[in-house]
A and B are shown apart, each in its own frame.
Chain A
């Protein structure tokens, strides 16, 4: 036990958490005692003796876990010990619970953690739909209901969709650009470990006096500034999730700019790399806005400042402006990496170069630029400056153009292709094109002020965001997970179960979210625990479909767990893709490469005789006795090697 406490790890992390919390608690008590204030302030927006430990406790945990060991040593001026790579790679499952600096381990940690939160968020969604199956209140009272949909959204957005993309890219991106690891491996590990903290803060708000935060994931002031204690946990959770996401984005940007393999010019980067480059640009410049605004709310709550208190000169609408200045780009933060995944999957399984590669990359950059100019379209009915509405409407509608370019280019990629539907990844990619088109179209309608005046804050909005976040982001996440599952685990998953998962998900998704358009337009507001009887039938159908959707995810879970443990061994390149990550073994060697590969062509040169993307290290020397798994795929531009099987 004593040894476990001395070694960096979860045990020392737990101790750090206790010490940190005690320190925070003591600090508040001491300061309040000195200043002669009442020691335990328990107004519902107060509780400093709980809020401060909620900051210092997690920090103590990170220290205990070993996140800062190296930096402490560095700061103290002691000679840096030569890196022995003891924090690199995972030999047993236990290594996944340690502070690990290997981007592949971190990627897996990210993905598993975020899918855990996906299940939690999904269960909450099931509760919500159970309550809404019939008019009236049956299962939970309206107060709990408000907490449920708020935590559902916060969990899904901040600790599932945004970080799971970071997880997939963490695993794949350094391999793709021929880098041995991320630019800052320790920072990378630190970003991951802030994530479970954020998720646990969100969930633990259910346990505090007053219940979970219930002002929606948007947390509009002044509802949030006057809400019970749980809201402070939301504010803090967002800070941790935000810090995590900024640190990862910074890491991606530096990695992409400074660590590409020789020969990999910007115009030879796979589109997933482009997508993460643009996403990271958004994160770095936009996320501080939500950090800032949640700080202000926290100050209003705990320190009783007046940022949003109209009676004392505060400005209520400034919350919405600052919040959406982050949260609209956040929509693209949740979508652009998915675009990248879809490009990889479609090109590989259609055996064809991406149509209009450069325009695809430029469209991503176009979306990045435009997305900073559209935030106020969330505020058309908010009573903001009336003159801002028309300019924001125009920019909002224009953002459909680069998005449309991407859809059309994927379509064109399918023409004259050799389309393989045997991989579930491809099914999800094609399903995505359909559902995302619907979500995009309803988005264009929402961008028009007169229509938005009618449908904003109704179930039409709920339908739209689930079409783009579930039919969009989550479909791309599934596509990505299926696509790289063999690479990450070294095993093949069961395609039959994958297909079951896909079709159930598609049917459940359409059945759940299409009718929401109608109930919204006919007058059902969002975020209500009860509704007029006329919407009863539709809501029952929505609930039933959503349960189907929930069950479908169990199939996925089963498939993943069983295949990871017992699935047939995967070859290095089961999909015969061109990009570098497929040219190394599955799973990749601990340091990715023996020698950095050399990039000699574009990433999607399918069907171009003799073309290749990269020459792997050591390959030139051994060119006479090629290893079938590696060279067959990389070099076989024309025909591929006939012996390869595409899937189980």
Chain B
């Protein structure tokens, strides 16, 4: 997204010429490294909430977990998990299609991913409505909403990034060259992170 600022502009007859092109001192390009570091940060944010989960469940809780009176719809969430995981494959498909220059495949892949992600979020919100307890109901309610809500917010951000990719895909951007499909690849990496994070959240909150 950012490369434009340094790459273009040399040719312009300006009062000053543009900056020299930076020397590429590593094999990894900026956008990819940037998103990977951002994912590290995001993972640590989840880490803070998992730390809280650990303290609430293991350290200061006696008795069953979830406490009596709380029940989680594991089956529905399981189906939802499957939906989200499948969207990881579709986004990968979109990237492969882009690499091969298959525009139709890229557009369909991105669109499917977006729809699957939205379905996940919709089911998640539906689950909140019918789950029967709120974030105010004891520490369990707080951390349940804390972890799943944090993840939901990440799904939302992921969907936003995918929307941009979708719009640009339909408007004829992106191409098979490495530089031209970063706009698919970078949201894709983020989306994989969101999926992996959900598997962890699902395992910890619903199953363990």
Interface residues of A (CB under 8 A from B): 71, 74-77, 80, 82-85, 101, 178-181, 183-187, 246, 250, 253-254, 257-262, 264, 284-289, 291-293, 296, 299-300, 303-307, 309-310, 312-315, 317-318, 321-322, 325, 590-596, 617
Which are the 6 A-B pairs with shortest beta-carbon distances?
A: A292-B48, A313-B139, A318-B55, A591-B19, A180-B19, A288-B45
> What distance in Å separates the Cβ of A564 from its nearest Cβ neighbour in chain B?
24
Contact between B1 and A288 (Cβ–Cβ < 8 Å)? no
A285 to B8, CA, bound (A): 33
Contact between B20 and A306 (Cβ–Cβ < 8 Å)? no
A318 to B56, CA, bound (A): 8
Partner of B25, one of A71, A257, A291: A257
Contact between B139 and A617 (Cβ–Cβ < 8 Å)? no
The verdict on A253 contacting B37 (CB below 8 Å), with A180-B22, A312-B139 known, is yes
Segment touching A, from B74-82, B115-123, B141-149, B194-202: B141-149
Contact between B52 and A303 (Cβ–Cβ < 8 Å)? no
Between A71, A293, A312, the greatest number of chain B beta carbons within 10 A of the residue's beta carbon is seen for A312
Contact between B23 and A262 (Cβ–Cβ < 8 Å)? yes
Partner of A254, one of B33, B135, B163: B33
B131 at the interface (CB under 8 A from A): no
Give chain B residues whose Cβ lies under 8 Å from the Cβ of A322.
Answer: 48, 51-52
A229 to B1, CA, bound (A): 39
Segment touching A, from B83-91, B102-110, B168-176: B168-176
Give 13 pairs: A residue, B residue, CB < 8 Å, sorted on A.
Answer: A82-B8, A179-B22, A180-B19, A187-B2, A254-B34, A257-B33, A289-B45, A292-B49, A310-B60, A313-B140, A315-B52, A322-B52, A591-B19
Give chain B residues whose Cβ lies under 8 Å from the Cβ of A312.
Answer: 138-139
Give chain B residues whose Cβ lies under 8 Å from the Cβ of A288.
Answer: 41-42, 44-45, 47-48
Contact between A74 and B164 (Cβ–Cβ < 8 Å)? yes
A287 to B42, CA, bound (A): 10
B208 at the interface (CB under 8 A from A): no
B38 at the interface (CB under 8 A from A): yes
Give chain A residues whose Cβ lies under 8 Å from the Cβ of B20.
Answer: 180, 591, 593-596, 617
B180 at the interface (CB under 8 A from A): no
Number of A-B contacts (CB under 8 A): 202
B72 at the interface (CB under 8 A from A): no
Give chain B residues whose Cβ lies under 8 Å from the Cβ of A253.
Answer: 33, 37
Give chain B residues whose Cβ lies under 8 Å from the Cβ of A76.
Answer: 167
B5 at the interface (CB under 8 A from A): yes
Contact between B2 and A184 (Cβ–Cβ < 8 Å)? yes
A453 to B20, CA, bound (A): 58
Partner of A77, one of B1, B59, B173: B173
> What distance in Å separates the Cβ of B141 from its nearest Cβ neighbour in chain A?
7
The count of chain B contact residues (Cβ–Cβ below 8 Å) is 60
Contact between A101 and B5 (Cβ–Cβ < 8 Å)? yes
A312 to B34, CA, bound (A): 41
Give chain B residues whose Cβ lies under 8 Å from the Cβ of A286.
Answer: 44
Interface string of B1-34 (1 = CB under 8 A from A): 1101110110010101111111111101110011
A304 to B8, CA, bound (A): 51
Contact between A314 and B56 (Cβ–Cβ < 8 Å)? yes
> What distance in Å separates the Cβ of B171 from its nearest Cβ neighbour in chain A?
4
Contact between B138 and A318 (Cβ–Cβ < 8 Å)? no
Contact between B23 and A261 (Cβ–Cβ < 8 Å)? yes
> What distance in Å separates the Cβ of A589 from its nearest Cβ neighbour in chain B?
8
Contact between A184 and B22 (Cβ–Cβ < 8 Å)? no
A75 to B166, CA, bound (A): 9
B136 at the interface (CB under 8 A from A): yes
Contact between A307 and B4 (Cβ–Cβ < 8 Å)? no
Contact between B138 and A264 (Cβ–Cβ < 8 Å)? no
> What distance in Å separates the Cβ of A539 from its nearest Cβ neighbour in chain B?
39
A84 to B14, CA, bound (A): 8
B203 at the interface (CB under 8 A from A): no
> What distance in Å separates the Cβ of B200 from its nearest Cβ neighbour in chain A?
15
Contact between B24 and A258 (Cβ–Cβ < 8 Å)? yes
Contact between B29 and A258 (Cβ–Cβ < 8 Å)? yes
Contact between B9 and A82 (Cβ–Cβ < 8 Å)? yes
A35 to B52, CA, bound (A): 30
Given contacts A84-B12, A259-B22, 13 further A-B contacts (CB under 8 A): A77-B167, A82-B4, A254-B30, A254-B37, A259-B23, A262-B23, A287-B41, A293-B48, A293-B52, A307-B56, A315-B59, A318-B56, A591-B19
Partner of B136, one of A83, A181, A304: A304
Give chain A residues whose Cβ lies under 8 Å from the Cβ of B140.
Answer: 313
> What distance in Å separates the Cβ of B190 from its nearest Cβ neighbour in chain A?
14
What residue of chain B has the Cβ atom nearest to residue A303's Cβ? B135
Contact between A183 and B16 (Cβ–Cβ < 8 Å)? no
B40 at the interface (CB under 8 A from A): yes
Give chain A residues whose Cβ lies under 8 Å from the Cβ of B2.
Answer: 183-187
What residue of chain A has the Cβ atom nearest to residue B136's Cβ? A304
What residue of chain A has the Cβ atom nearest to residue B171's Cβ? A77
Give chain B residues whose Cβ lies under 8 Å from the Cβ of A184.
Answer: 2, 30, 34
The verdict on A291 contacting B12 (CB below 8 Å), with A186-B2, A258-B30, A313-B139 known, is no
Partner of B33, one of A75, A258, A307, A310: A258
A168 to B38, CA, bound (A): 23
A379 to B84, CA, bound (A): 41
Give chain B residues whose Cβ lies under 8 Å from the Cβ of A593.
Answer: 19-20
Contact between B5 and A307 (Cβ–Cβ < 8 Å)? no
A312 to B37, CA, bound (A): 37
What residue of chain B has the Cβ atom nearest to residue A326's Cβ? B48
Contact between B25 and A260 (Cβ–Cβ < 8 Å)? yes
Contact between A83 and B5 (Cβ–Cβ < 8 Å)? yes
What residue of chain A has the Cβ atom nearest to residue B45's Cβ? A288
Partner of A180, one of B6, B52, B145, B170: B6
A291 to B153, CA, bound (A): 15
A259 to B28, CA, bound (A): 11
Give chain B residues whose Cβ lies under 8 Å from the Cβ of A264.
Answer: 25
Give chain A residues whose Cβ lies under 8 Å from the Cβ of B49.
Answer: 292, 296
> What distance in Å separates the Cβ of A543 from its nearest Cβ neighbour in chain B?
39
> What distance in Å separates the Cβ of A308 from its nearest Cβ neighbour in chain B?
9
